[in-house]
Amino acid sequence: MADSTQLPHLIAGLKAETVIADKGYDSDTNRQAIRAQGAKPCIPPRSNRKKPEAYDRHLYKERNSVERFFGWIK
């Protein structure tokens, strides 16, 4: 099972202003689930998306710091 299909369950009940995720999580269902939680999605669009949605590129770059930290602690 793909991780991206589990996003609505992962964020259920969490309070956040923004949910930052990689392109693998770019789907209308995931974006709707994020907005339903009262948060803003920060997900770069997949290259095959017909109507790419805008995202905050500067905020998305912050995700790299978190990914590097997880890599370091592993």
Predicted model pTM: 0.85
pLDDT per residue as tens digits for the range 11-33: 999 999 999 999 999 999 999 99
Residue 2 has pLDDT above 80, yes or no: no
| Mean pLDDT along residues 33-47 | 96
β-pair partners for 50: none
pLDDT score, position 1: 60
Reduced 3-state DSSP string for 28-54:
HHHHHHHHHCCCEEECCCCCCCCCCCC
Beta carbons within 10 angstroms of residue 24's beta carbon:
13
Residue 54 has pLDDT above 90, yes or no: yes
